[in-house]
Structure formats: structure tokens, C-alpha cells
A and B are shown apart, each in its own frame.
Chain A
Amino acid sequence: MDKETTSLLRVESLSIPLPAGLDRTYAVENISYELNAGEILCVVGESGSGKSMTANAIMGLLPSYLKPSGGRIVFRGRDLLAMSEPELERERGRSVAMIFQEPLSALNPLMKVGEQVAEVMLVHGEGDAAARERRVLELLDFVGLPDPASLRHAYPFRLSGGQRQRVMIAMALALEPAMLIADEPTTALDVTTQAQILELIRRIQAAKGMGVMFITHDFGVVADIADRVVVMERGLVVEQGMAADVLNRPQHPYTRRLIAAVPHREDGADRTDAGGETLLEVKQLSKTYRSGGGLFSKARVVKAVDDVSFSLRRGETLGVVGESGSGKSTLGRCLLKLTDVDGGEIRFRGRDIVPLSPGAFRPMRRHVQMIFQDPFSSLNPRQTIGRILTDGPVANGVPLAEAQARARELLGLVGLEPSAFDRYPHEFSGGQRQRVGIARALALDPELLVADESVSALDVSVQAQVLELLQDLQRKLDLAIIFITHDLRVAAQICDRVAVMHRGAIVECGPPAQIFDAPRHAYTRQLIAAIPGLAWNPRQAVV
């Protein structure tokens, strides 16, 4: 048999040139891989690897300034690149469907979800209105959405991220396409929701015998669902093969580097000796948010932080893990007094900072610093790195010359060139900017760092470097760190103790060994079970 009949999709020597003036000539260069019916193919790579670009090329959704310069994309024997727009429109949604990363923005906010699902059938002339309506109910039920009869009349903003992604999947399945392209469909979701969506995709794939092309940056997800894997780096396919082979016996150095960078709990690495004297003690901290309400309607009350108590010693890292809405970020904001609290104590160096006025707390601010999540929006684009690093110290009375000397020293400490001092944030990559963010926090010689999802926006290899940097700095400077994250693998790797937050409360707190090997609380067990790639140990793969 020749290959035409067995493979559903073949990408053959595809090249897509980039407009002139960018850092490389091709978005993807001479790449080839194939997808068979009934299998899940994972395309893995970091940002800028060209993995999404290929998916968009398959769908004919490339922006007008990007045109493939060579190669073919053969789907069921026909070259998609040679098709006209109307021909492609007939294929899209009917035989090839796609779901995207951001469920929050991927649905039309002003159209009811049922209508959006029905539209696929409508534009492909499938069934009459009544038949479509029945099919919508069936689909919403199939993807596990509650109460399809009322949910189909809801606007997207009423649905949670996971529910919206299910709607997207329902939409993609409406006409039972032969191929599904999923572009990072679980990246924006909480870990338990991610596990559910992955399970759903696996179930659908098995039930419908579709070929699924699953684009991801997360090797944990790959370990969970892939039959075969394609690894991409800077527009090239560097390795492909069966999932078990690539995950456990990676051949290409890049694949090895990526797998080595996957956060994972180090065996026997629990530090029991970490920490000196107690630096921070939080007792029964509470914070409640109220919104809306008036004469006629009730206000909405959310207990963001509910009776939270913990302590932290110098040199210790406390991980605060939880899903979105668990109150972990609010807790961080409370500790920096960026928001008022409703009750409890925050004892910093023995002194309760809760009752302090903003003026009385200001001299203490330099001791508690924050590293933010988004390295792009957390640096002022109009200020040089030097200015960013010296602003804080100068405001705290340090002479400018001294602050500048210290800033240059800090740049070295976080692994940046001294020349960075006179440059602007946009000249740096995400990982470099996060280093600037860390240097900025350190410029004030803090004793406590609050890192709120500080590595979440970074690629896995960069993430590993930044984590290493943080650990290194902690050892050198005897810093106490509160590490807020949704990623349990990261917490397991770098924290001395982990606190699990759920609906504003800490449900369980202890060293990683206890949390991960003998979780006591049902919610902790649920979280751990949802970690992607739990059964796969990346440390054994690269020896």
C-alpha cells in the first residue's frame, strides 16, 4: 500500500518565509510530518518554534503577509495549499476542525453559545433548524456540559473557561470532522479542568476515530495523550517518533534539553534544614470582596482569603498553590499591603503590619518585594533598565551614584550584561525581562520576596533557568520567598513547604514529600491526580 491511503494528513517539505527584517528567514522551513487517522499526534515546541504557524497553514488561516513558499499539505489526497478560498471554506468545520488556546476570547461574546455551535451546521447546509437544535443539545451533552437546554441560551461570559473550551469542542465536533487540530487547548485552564479536557479529547478521539493534531509546549500533556510526537525548534522539525521513545529516549540535544527543563520533584531533595529565624507570621488573615448591589439587588460577596495562618523563616520557600479564584494572588497582595484586609495579623519581623497606616508602612516596603507574572506589562516601556532598577532605591534615600553602582552589580547577579543598564525593556526577551523584574525586586535588599506566578509566562527552558536563578539568589541572600503558582510541578521542585489553597482557605500545608506522597485533604488529592504526565519521570529520561 502506498502512504496516500493510510495517512490522513501529510505535511511535505513545507516552508513559510517570514517578512524581511525579522530574526530568521523562515517561520517554518522544509518541515515534514504526517498524521494518521485514529491517532493523537503531539507537536511540541517553545514559543516561536513555528508549531502554531503550521496548524494555521493547514487550516488556511495564515495572515495575508505569510504565504507558504514551498511544499504541500496533503489532506485525504488533496493539496490544501492549492485550494481556493471557497473550497477551503467547505473543508473547514466539515472535515477539519480547530480549537484554540484562549477559550475566553475564542467565542463571540455577543452570540449565544448554542447559536455558535449551530452555525457550523448552518453554514455547511446541514439539516433544518429543528434538526440543528437537536444536534446542539446532543453535542453540549456529549462534551459534558451541564443542563444543555438552558446553557445553549447563555452568552459565553456566563461560562467558566473550562465550559467555554467544551463549547469550542462541541462546535468542532458538530460535523464529525476527520481531523481535529487543537492549538494549546488546555494551556489557559486550571490543572483539574485541563485533566478533564484532555480526558474528553481522548474519549472523543477513541469514539470517533479522528486524527488529532495536538499542539502543546507541555511535555506532561504529551506524556498523557500522545501516540506520536513531533518536536519543533525555531521552525525546524528536530525529532519525531513514537511518544514512549521521544519521552524516554530523546535523541536530539534540543529535545533532551527541553525534557531536562520540565519541572519535577527532585527525589530526596526535601530540605529539612532550610530556614533560620521566623521572618513572617500570618494569623487568621481574612479578605472579603464585595461587588454590585444596591437598593433592590443583593451584593456579591466573595471570601478571597479566609482565615489563613502560616509562618515563614528566613531562607525558606513557601509554595502557595491553587487554581484560579482560590485566593492565592489576593493573599500575595495582602502581604504587600497592596489591598486592605478585613481581619487577622501579618507579623513581619515580629511587628503586625496590618494596623499600620500607608505612611507608617512605607519605610518597611523595601523589605517586602514582589516579582510579577507578566514580564511584558510589569516593566515601564519608557524607562531604561537602569532607571527601573534605581527608582526604588533613590525613592528610599539612596544616593543616585550608589544606586546605579548597585544596579550594575544586580544585573550581573541575575545574569544580564552590564550594557543592559542603558537599554529599554522591549530590547529583551521574556526571560531576560523576568530577570530584570527580579533585579528590580532585589534592588531594595528585601528580606521577603513574593513571586506571583513569576515563571508561568515563560517557556519551559527559560522557566528552568529563572527557577535556578531564584534558588541561587535565595542561598546567597538568605531570602524568604513566597512562591505563588498554579503549577504543582514547579512548587514541588523548588519549595521547602507547600500550602494548598482552595476557595480562600489553606486546606493543607507541609513539605512536598507529605503533600505529594501522602496528601490528606481530598482537594489536594484531586489536584495531584490532575498533574499532567504524573506517571512519567523526566529525570529518568535524560541520564
Chain B
Amino acid sequence: MRPPFRSATAGNEPLKTLDFLFQRLIKAAFVVLGVVILNFLLIHLAPGDPAAVMAGEAGAGDEKFIAQLRAQFGLDQPLWWQLVTYLGNVLTGDLGFSYRNNVPVAELIMERLPATLLLTASAFLFSLLLGVVLGVLAAYKRGTLADSLIMTGALIFYATPLFWVALMAVLVFSIHLDWLPPFDMESIGADYTGWARFADIAYHLILPTVTLGLFFTALYTRLTRASMLEVMSLDFVKTARAKGVPKARIIRRHVLRNAVLPVFTFASIQAGQLVGGAVLTETVFAWPGIGRLMFDALLQRDYPVLLGVFLVTAAVVVTVNLVADLLYRIVDPRIEAAG
């Protein structure tokens, strides 16, 4: 007699995913709220008075003018009231007004965000793809010259600071060899449209992408190699060998998918760091993204812009993680059932 095939959780999965999504969205909202409040308080704890900075640059240092500026931007109100007002405004989509640029912060960020997303997404894909390929290759050729070369290269880029790589890349590929543009996202004054503009941007993208991505490539290479070697020692790989499956197919069909799971987890966490790394890259390559916007706002004590950038970055990181978790449930069928 055979019992019917029915596992304990079968049939429940779509609802479980819904539960999961619901819980995660609530958590995500709280995370973003926490980031906003924390940043707001931290910024006001830091020394430096934006009104004084602005007045000083305007050449007028008298108390009356500064007080007027404070009143204009609501800086004379108690801190808790400023926070409540700010949160209320954020909920309605109003991120405030830049002290310096005299434009709404939301507008400023939306103008710069695509450039940053383009750079980070390119760097992310570049590092993940190249890292996994090199890691697989190193594991497959374990103990050979190819393995040693790949791992030495990975170690070098893992150990070298990002800004140094960036400066050297500009020096070698732009100044000495003149192969690639050293800064900016488009050729100034060229006014390309359509495909020509696309190609121009892609051309400008190469150096910052590779620079930003190399550290992460090194990381993924090492991680993939270690993970591959671990999976290769598991029982089911022996089963596959006992079935007469050739080695290349074992790597492709059995090892790879299992081995990239931890790499995938790691990458989803690292995606947030990539946005942070972009600040440096954007500054070196004069890339018109929010990294540079943040850097400038910091020097100018432009609180609304700073807070806006923090909020948007946090939202991007939280979204990326949420998407990664959902994807993970697709890549690994066991997750969905475990809930």
C-alpha cells in the first residue's frame, strides 16, 4: 500500500509568499523611518550652523541676517518640532528645499539618481558576473597555474583601496594611453541623441564601473571558488559521478547552482555597500550622481539635501534587499516551504 504523495506544506506556498511579502514590507517601512530619524538627529548633533555658513558666504556676518535665515528655514524651532515637521513633509513626498540650490530636494535627487543607479548597477553586474566566472574557473582548475593567477589577482584587488585603483586607472588609461575618458558621464557639448548618446555614455561608464567593481569582483571570485569547492565535496556530487555524468556537466548542472546561493546572499548585502562606494568613485570621476551631490551638500551644510540623499539611499538598499529575498525564494525552492 502506498500513501499518496503529499508533503506537509504543499499547496500553502503562494499564501506563504504573501505573508512573507507583507511582513517584509512592514519591516522595510520601519527601517527607512529609523534611518530618517537617526540621520536627522545625528546631523543636528554635528557642529556647524548652516545659517552661519550661508551668511558668511554672502559676506554678511551680522546676527540679524543670520536670525532671519534661521527663521526662513525653520531652524529657530525646537529640534523635536523640526523632526515632526520633516517627517510630516516626507510622508507627503516633500523632501524639503535645498538651502543652497534653491530647488526642491526631490527634484535635485531625481535628476542625479539615474546616473548613480546606472553606475552602481553596471558595477554590480560587472563584478558579480566576472567574479562568479573567475571563481568557477579557479575551482574547476584548482591547484593549476590558472587558479593561482586568478586568486593572486583577486587578492591584489581585494587589498587595494578603491580610490587608489581609481586614480591609477585614470593615470594609465586616460592620461598615458588616452583610451578612455577620465571624467564625466557624457562628452561635453557633443549633444548626441539616440544610439550615439547611448554609446557615448557607455564609453564614459567603462572606467568608473571597472574601478568601482574590481574590489567586489575580487570578493565574489574568492567566495565563489570557496563555495564551489565546498559543494563539490557534497554527497550528491558523488551521486552524479556514480551516474556517469561527465565532470563539466557536473559543474554546470549540479555544483554551480548550489554554489552560487551563498554568493547571491552575500551580493544582496553588498549591493548596499556599492552605493556607498559610489560616493568615492563619483567624486574621482566627476560622475553626476547622488554620491557627489551628497559630498557637496556635506561641505555646504545643506541639511535637507543630505537627509534626502540618506533617505533615498536607504530606500534603494531596502528595496534591493527585498527583491533579493524574493528572488532567493525562486532560486532555492526550499526557502519557500520553510517560510
Contacts and interface: CB of A to CB of B under 8 A. Distances in A.
Interface string A149-177: 01100110111000100001001000000
B7 A110 contact: no
A106 B239 CA distance: 6
A91 B12 CA distance: 43
B337 A93 contact: no
Given A92-B241, A119-B253, 17 more contacts: A86-B246, A97-B242, A97-B243, A105-B235, A106-B236, A107-B236, A109-B258, A120-B243, A123-B243, A147-B5, A151-B5, A154-B7, A157-B334, A158-B10, A292-B9, A294-B20, A295-B18
Nearest to B231: A108
23 contacts: A89-B245, A90-B244, A92-B243, A97-B242, A100-B235, A105-B234, A105-B235, A105-B236, A106-B236, A109-B236, A109-B258, A110-B331, A111-B253, A119-B253, A123-B243, A147-B5, A154-B5, A155-B334, A157-B333, A159-B7, A163-B5, A292-B9, A293-B19
A158 B12 CA distance: 13
A171 B242 CA distance: 10
A269 B238 CA distance: 46
B15 A297 contact: yes
Nearest to B261: A110
Given A100-B238, A107-B236, A297-B19, A147 B243 contact: no
Contacts of A145: 2, 5
Interface residues of B, number: 39
B9 A93 contact: no
Contacts of A119: 240, 243, 245, 253
Contacts of A109: 236, 258, 334
Given A108-B258, A110-B332, A292 B235 contact: no
Contact of B19 (A123, A144, A296): A296
A155 B245 contact: no
Nearest to B4: A146
Interface string A115-126: 000011001100
B88 interface: no
Given A105-B236, A106-B236, A111-B253, A120 B244 contact: yes
A245 to B, nearest CB: 32
Interface of B: 2-5, 7-10, 12, 15-16, 18-20, 22-23, 234-236, 238-246, 249, 253-254, 257-258, 331-334, 337, 339
Given A146-B2, A146-B3, A157-B334, A61 B242 contact: yes
Most buried by B among A102, A110, A120, A150: A110
Interface string A81-113: 000001001111110011010100111111100
Given A89-B246, A123-B249, A294 B236 contact: no
- Residue of A98, A155, A296 with most partner-chain B CB within 10 A: A296
A141 to B, nearest CB: 10
Contacts of A106: 235-236, 238-239
A145 B2 CA distance: 7
A152 B286 CA distance: 56
A102 B243 contact: no
B5 A100 contact: no
A61 B5 contact: no
Contacts of A293: 19, 339
A448 interface: no
A415 B258 CA distance: 46
A291 interface: yes
B9 A300 contact: yes
Main secondary structure of the interface of B (DSSP, over half): helix
A298 interface: yes
A481 interface: no
Contacts of A92: 241-244
A108 B236 contact: yes
Contact of B243 (A93, A144, A291): A93
A484 B258 CA distance: 36
B9 A61 contact: no
Contacts of B242: 59, 61, 92-93, 97-98, 100
Contacts, number: 119
Contacts of B234: 105
Given A297-B12, A297-B18, A155 B333 contact: yes
A94 B242 CA distance: 10
B18 A124 contact: no
Interface in A252-295: 291-295
A86 B248 CA distance: 12
B329 to A, nearest CB: 13
Contact of A110 (B4, B10, B333): B333
B22 A144 contact: no
Contact of A296 (B15, B241, B331): B15
Contacts of B3: 146
A262 to B, nearest CB: 28
Interface in A20-61: 59, 61
Contacts of B257: 110
B333 A123 contact: no
A169 to B, nearest CB: 12
B244 A123 contact: yes
A89 B20 CA distance: 44
Nearest to B242: A98
A92 B258 CA distance: 23
A147 B7 CA distance: 12
Nearest to A168: B239
A90 B239 CA distance: 15
Contact of A147 (B4, B15, B253): B4
Interface string A130-152: 00000000000000111100110
A248 to B, nearest CB: 34
Contacts of B333: 110, 155, 157
A59 B240 CA distance: 12
B12 A298 contact: yes
A409 B313 CA distance: 64
Contacts of B16: 292, 294, 296-297
Top 3 nearest A-B pairs (CB, nearest first) are A294-B19, A93-B244, A297-B15
Contact of B258 (A94, A110, A150): A110
A124 to B, nearest CB: 6
A157 B19 CA distance: 22
Contacts of B9: 292, 300
B244 A94 contact: yes
Given A111-B254, A147-B4, A296 B18 contact: yes
Contacts of B7: 154, 158-159
Contacts of B240: 108, 119
Among A109, A151, A163, A295, which residue has the most Cβ atoms of chain B within 10 A?
Answer: A109
Contact of A107 (B8, B239, B245): B239
B339 A292 contact: yes
Nearest to A151: B5
Nearest to B332: A110
A146 B5 contact: yes
Nearest to A159: B7
A377 B339 CA distance: 28
B257 to A, nearest CB: 5
B235 to A, nearest CB: 4
A91 B129 CA distance: 36
Nearest to A105: B235
A110 B237 CA distance: 12
A92 B250 CA distance: 14
A46 to B, nearest CB: 21
A60 B182 CA distance: 56
A323 to B, nearest CB: 14
B203 to A, nearest CB: 39
Contacts of B334: 109, 155, 157
Nearest to A299: B339
A473 B8 CA distance: 43
